[in-house]
Amino acid sequence: MKKGIELLATGSALPAKVVTNEDLRRLVDTSDEWIVKRTGIRERRHCVGENQFSLAAGAAQAALERSGVDPARVAACIVTTICADNISPSCACLLQRALGLPEQTVCFDLNGACAGFVYGLQVISGLLTEDRPYGILVSSETLSRLSDFTDRSTCVLFGDGAGAAVVGLCDSPYGLCGDFGSRSNREVLYIPSATASEPSYIHMEGQAVFKFAVDIIPRCIDRVLQQAGLTMDGVDLVVMHQANARIIDHVAKHLKLPPEKCFKNIARYGNMSSACIPIALDDLYREGRLSAGMRLLPVGFGGGLTWGGALLEVGDIK
């Protein structure tokens, strides 16, 4: 039997402050109608007292506790983020102490932009061993800190949040199936770092990113299915990065996916970069929609440009 990767528990943490479209209308020339129609977003969360680490810790602790996994058997802790509070130490190293993980745990942050969680799944699977077959993958983002609240074309899109998954190596008839890639491009989406000479704000050509997304997602999904020897009938849920409800609907229509197979929670949170997919997984868990034996297909895409899709089997989820 081949080795695959399975989901054992999820967790999430969101800032308390809800920011509605109406709240943003007071800052920029926009409307609830425009935002809902063009993006599907109704509200998002913004950090006030929370930060990127506190959200990561909240999500990771919830997932680890729920999993019942002994921290001594965790081989790796990876945090995917483009918003780390510190360049060093990494958020993952800080989490090591908060979660009581042993010194032998590999801890590092990974920047795969909005494809980060799916990149992380692939990377963490290579670090798990028979003795220590568990990994903690956390995605924590505070995009409100990188938003220019004078730019209506970007500031309405993004929100803050963290999601976490405890994953494990499993026997699988499919093995590790994933399709990943990147297409070097600074023109359509870039965020200068805090050390750059210009302000650290999100710059985006929305239509170009939209076209990239609707082109790459179906091709990525096809390639994952081919590797697994599955058709879409063999997949229970496609969990796409939540950047725009129109992107998700466009892909669903193209692939003839019924709405119940295509999860969407963008209305409540907006785009939280790599945190969208694990928060979606935790929402699914809390809605009682995940059970052992299910096959999920998370797909991310974003800055870089990057994309990634993978088969994620649901284990004995707690």
What are the catalytic residues? 114, 241, 271
Residue closest to ligand COA (Cβ): 206
Minimum distance from CB of 48 to ligand COA (Å)? Answer: 23
Rule CB under 6 A: is residue 83 a binding residue for ligand COA?
no
Rule CB under 6 A: is residue 21 a binding residue for ligand COA?
no
Rule CB under 6 A: is residue 270 a binding residue for ligand COA?
no
Rule CB under 6 A: is residue 34 a binding residue for ligand COA?
yes
Rule CB under 6 A: is residue 200 a binding residue for ligand COA?
no
**DSSP letter string, the chain:** -EEEEEEEEEEEE--SEEEEHHHHHTTSS--HHHHHHHH---EEEE-SS--HHHHHHHHHHHHHHHHT--GGGEEEEEEE-S--S-SSS-HHHHHHHHHT--TT-EEEEE--GGGHHHHHHHHHHTT--SSS-EEEEEEEEEGGGG--TT-HHHHTTB-EEEEEEEEEEEEESS-S-EEEEEEEESSSEE---TTSSS----EE-HHHHHHHHHHHHHHHHHHHHHHHT--GGG-SEEEE--S-HHHHHHHHHHTT--GGGB---HHHH-B-GGGHHHHHHHHHHHTT---TT-EEEEEEEETEEEEEEE-EEE-S--
* Closest CB to ligand COA among residues 40, 168: 40
Stretch that binds ligand COA, among 34-42, 56-64, 76-84, 101-109 (CB under 6 A): 34-42
Stretch that binds ligand COA, among 75-83, 125-133, 152-160, 193-201 (CB under 6 A): 152-160
Rule CB under 6 A: is residue 114 a binding residue for ligand COA?
yes
Residues that bind ligand COA (CB under 6 A): 30, 34-35, 38-39, 114, 152-153, 156, 189, 206-207, 209-210, 213, 243-244, 247, 271, 302
